Amino acid sequence: MGVVVSRRAAGLRAWLWQRLTAVYMAVYLCGLTWHFVVDPPVNYQVWHDWLAKSHVSVASALFFAAVLLHAWVGGRDVLIDYVSVASIRFALLGALAFALLAIGLWALRVLYTIH
């Protein structure tokens, strides 16, 4: 019985992370769209200066973290549900983790070079 509760808790936790990251991504993208409608950047320097603001950099870093977490939870659930051979599933989960880590490091590098 304890294992069932644990699996349910893990499923609920994954569901909650998916919803929270989706909400943050939606809010961020709406805010970004609103900013571009109200005050579109006229050149690269204006775009760079806006992205260099600390609140925009933090929000952007959180956005990338949310995208990566959302992709991990979704990809992990798909692989667990549909890949029945454990060794293949493990290899695919490792490849997914490696790819998302590489993308995350690239995003951090991009955000870091703005400053």
Q: What is the CATH number of the domain that holds 17?
A: 1.20.1300.10
Q: List pLDDT tens digits, range 96-114.
A: 999 999 999 999 999 988 8
3-state secondary structure of 10: helix
Helix 54-82, helix 44-52: angle, nearest 10: 80
Per-residue pLDDT reduced to its tens digit, 28-74: 999 999 999 999 999 999 999 999 999 999 999 999 999 999 999 99
Domain holding 66, by residue range, is 2-114
| Residues 61/111, Cβ–Cβ less than 8 Å | yes
Structural domain count, the chain: 1
pTM of the model: 0.87
